[in-house]
Amino acid sequence: MGKYIATRLLSLIPVLFGVSLIVFFLVRLIPGSALEMYMGTQVEATPEQMIELQRIFGEDKPVLVLYVEWLGRILKGDFGYSLRTGRAVLPDILSRLPLSLELTVIALFLALIIGIPQGILSSLRKNPISDVLNRIAGLLGLSLPQFWLASLMVLAFSNTQGWIPMGNYIKFSDDPLRNLRMMILPSLSIGIGLSAVIMRYTRNSMLEVLQMDYIRTAKAKGLAKRIVIIRHALKNAILPVITVAGFNTGYLLGGAIVIEEVFALPGMGRLALYAIYQRDYPVIQAIVLVIATLFVLVNLLTDIIYSLVDPRIRLDNGAKHA
Amino acid sequence: MSEESILRVEGLVTQFSTDRGLVKAVDGISFNLRRGETLGIVGESGSGKSVTNLSILRLVQSPPGNIAAGQVIFQGRDLLQASEEEVRLLRGKNISMIFQDPLTSLNPVLKVSMQIAEAIQLHHGQGRKAARAKAVEMMKLIGIPDAERRADDYPHQFSGGMRQRIMIAMALSCNPDILIADEPTTALDVTIQAQILELIKNLSAKDKTAVILITHDLGVVAGMCDTVCVMYAGRIVERASVDELFYDPKHPYTRGLLDSIPSVDLSGPDRLYSIPGAPPNLIDMPDACPFAPRCSKVMEVCARSMPPETLLDAETSRSVRCWLHTKENRNA
Amino acid sequence: MKANRLTRNAIAMTGITIIALYLLVIFVSTFWLPFDPVEMDVDHLLEGPSLATGHLFGTDEFGRDILSRIMKGTSISLIISIAATALGAIVGTTMGTWAGYLGGLWDHWLMRVADVMFSFPSLLLAIFVMAILGEKTYNVIIAIGIVYIPQFARISRGAILTIKSSEFIKAARSNGASSTFILRKHLLPNILVPLIVQVSLSLSVAILLESSLSFLGLGVQPPAPSWGNMLSGARKVMVLAPWTAIYPGLAIVFLVLGFNLLGDGLRDILDPRLRNVR
């Protein structure tokens, strides 16, 4: 097991390396360099001041060198300083991590408890008409734009106190109950769409699994239907669902940009968005790198969980016996 | 001679509704199974042999399948009329089944000990520990080395032959009255086949378990069975004891099957014999002998109507479904 | 059973019907719109829907007719969605097919690139690209297209790999068929099924991506109407005028639903494994 994790971690390194390369170089491509923007609000600068400014803004060396230097600093934990606020970037990002994490976890939880049972029930296909309606409802869930759903919720709850963060975000550590109350709606905005995805995957997977020979064997043993479905079918059917749930979770950690924007939540996605709006390069570089890294790590975690459920992956190293 | 009858199938008809029409996979099958007897059901693919057995346990997927007629009498009850719950209680306990492909028929994500133990837990009401112990015992019995440790392994960690043994252990764990073996050796190496058949033979002899052995391989039949039913196009065309079948086959199809077996002492560059033609399309079958198009001894009447089943020996229940052997034609 | 084939088709048919309706709207909108979508009418700001004024969906914060803007936005959204999907599909499939077919180093490196692209959440990647290219409407096509490239690459590569080692390819080879021939006659038809399904689903996601980008101000720029940027403008005023938020959103939902239905129905119809499922 440990060997499996170690191998997978090692394979991440080239990917993260590639990510850092792309992030760094692409950020350089964003038009309107920070220096220019900074200058735009200042009076003319003397040549000496220009040289100094260029050094500060990192424009005095070739890009490749800058990249290596940047990478070196990153590896030591120095993610630079925001051009706008002057504060260190990493602490800023880390302070927002709990929020994004909480949002993701609650949304995932909601999606799983709604999606999986629905998917199972739907796969049993008792009634063709309700099956079709169910599927359309599922697809409808997929079709709702998150920002619209979020906006409608803001609209609906605009007069009710305490349900909408709107700039008054209260941390979980400060007041759990009030925090949860204001996280429900944002999580729901994400969770509804996600539950539709989970439901579809569960349903399709169950449909395939229920056709398998080993289900016939289980029935031939006289096992009760409930046991056949849960112990035999579900354990197999859940595998692709784990993969897709994991993938979407990773996406959510940095991709909940729109939700954070609509509900004015100080999360990582919003930080990334505003950094891009403001051309705050150090922040953009750092946060995109962090988001991508988290994404990759979550996928790894998903793979590990998957291997815990599917013995065939885990024990691939075990040679076949007699 | 008459051991008690443990299972009696009468006039079983199982159909499948497909886009192209109604397929009569089983069209009027009757047979009798005695306690401790090993009955072989032989036929090509599509002859309806597997469907017959799935029908006995009501494991036919419906829709599109449907058991349209017949009776399956077990322990004085007609299983086809009983409730789903009643039949479920018999499965795995009184009547067990093993399937052709042990790789796909075992659940890949569950430990083998669990798969064997669940039946024991269910039917004998034992707790998890006790059931697992019994499962390990079964594994030893069927010849899996290091059973205690291997009980926690998963199906993919065993070879094909071992997996089939596990299937057998699963099926026999609750000492059923009847074991239905659906082509148990077809997916295995020839060398392993013999071992598996030997195992089934020994275990069933031990508890006087009746066995219904489905196969397309006459060699298997010769070694294992007491009585044989030959199926073609959903019907039984010949029924005989194994000796009678091999030494005195009556139905032309049976003759053809026997002739198709390559013999070791083939002299000269003769071609291997195979029955000409192909199995019939089971949709909208006309009222005629289904084998007529391929039969070397076909007569005019064969194409006009389905031959009746002619009883040749009341004591042994030897019978054949062929116009050649009806009372009139035999004496002619 | 026949009943089930029909219901499977029903899903696809509903999807097609919905899409057809939108196409009809595009067609009509080229000749006629109830009002000028960009014309501001300060006398009728934020008016609710009413038959009397002719503003069936009401007006927005600039007095512009919402229905007309929605209709105009249909062409914009669909064009972007189709173009972006086409871009991603063509580039991605080419990449993936060659990677899968050639194998070896090509495969390795192309997939590394795809992996890296996959490390970014789609929306973030799209925002990033927009920031680089500049916030012009046609850049949205490129941004979304780039997001799709790794997806199509992976799917087509997977399909190619599955078939590459199968028996009938070996048979064709042993008969002397050339690589391009094999590619064209054997491999491509087989990857068509997953591709078609993916295209349909990508079309739906493209609309969501585009409207999200527009919502954030990084997509279609005002005054050109995109459902996304209409919703963005509605944020400030929707408490007073909910119709400004409801209708554009509904427009998105139904079109996306249409594509999703189509994709799902197609998958049912085309997937031979599912064909036997009752």
pLDDT in tens, A102-112: 889 999 999 99
The confidence band for A320, taking pLDDT boundaries of 50, 70 and 90, is very low
Beta pairing partners, B229: B41, B239
Q: Which of B57, B109, B154 sits opposite A220 (nearest CB)?
A: B57
Looking at residue A214, its pLDDT comes to 92
Residue A317 confidence class, pLDDT cut points 50, 70, 90:
very low
Burial C114-140 (b: 16+ CB within 10 A, else e): bbbbbbbbbbbbbbbbbbbbeeebebb
- Closest of B97, B94, B141 to residue B122, by C-alpha: B94
- Asked if residue B188 lies in contact with residue B98, where contact means CB atoms within 8 angstroms, the answer is no
> Whole-angstrom distance between the N-terminal and C-terminal Cα of chain C?
7
Q: Using alpha carbons only, what angle is made at residue B11 by residues B5 and B12, rounded to the nearest 5 degrees?
A: 95
* Backbone dihedral angles phi then psi of residue C55, each to the nearest 5 degrees: -90, 90
Cβ-contact A255, B125 below 8 angstroms: no
**CB-based contact A30 C132, cutoff 8 Å:** yes
Low-confidence ranges of chain B (pLDDT < 70): 1-3, 263-271, 329-332
Chosen from A205, A212, A214, A317 to mutate, greatest number of chain B CBs within 10 A:
A214
Does the pLDDT value for residue A245 go beyond 60?
Answer: yes
Q: Are the beta carbons of A26 and C132 separated by less than 8 Å?
A: yes
User: C130 near C213, Cβ under 8 Å?
Assistant: yes
- Rounded to a whole number, what is the distance in Å from the CA of C179 to chain B's nearest CA? 35
Q: Virtual CA dihedral for A91, A93, A98, A101, nearest 10 degrees?
A: -150
C241-251 tens-digit pLDDT: 888 888 889 99
Q: Chains touching chain B at 3 or more Cβ pairs under 8 angstroms?
A: A, C
Chain C positions touching B19 (Cβ under 8 A) are 1-2, 5
Instruction: With beta carbons less than 8 A apart as the criterion, state whether B57 and B51 touch.
Output: no
Best of C112, C119, C232 to substitute, by most chain A Cβ atoms within 10 angstroms, is C119
Q: Tell me the two tokens of residue B89.
A: 């209680």
Of the candidates B129, B125, B147, B128, which has an alpha carbon nearest to the alpha carbon of residue B138? Answer: B147
Give SS3 for B28: strand
- What pLDDT was estimated at residue A59? 65
Question: How many Å apart are CA B44 and CA C114, to the nearest integer?
Answer: 50
A61 in B contact zone (CB under 8 Å): no
What is the H or E stretch that residue C167 is in? Answer: helix C167-174
- Determine contact: C3 vs chain B, CB below 8 A: no
pLDDT in tens, C213-266: 999 888 888 878 889 888 888 888 888 888 888 888 999 999 999 998 888 888
Residue C89 confidence (pLDDT) = 92
Which residues, in sequence order, are CB contacts of A91 under 8 Å at separation 6+? none
pLDDT tens digits, residue range A45-102? 677 777 777 776 666 677 777 788 778 887 887 777 777 777 888 888 888 888 888 8
Q: Which residue of C has its CA nearest to A250?
A: C121
Does C5 touch chain B if contact means CB atoms closer than 8 Å?
yes
Share of chain B above pLDDT 70, in %: 95
CB contact under 8 Å between A223 and B150, yes or no, is no
Structure token pair of residue B2? 């008459």
From chain A residues 227-246, the ones with a CB under 8 A of any chain B CB are 227, 231-232, 235-236
pLDDT at position C275, please?
43
Q: Do B118 and A223 touch (CB under 8 A)?
A: yes
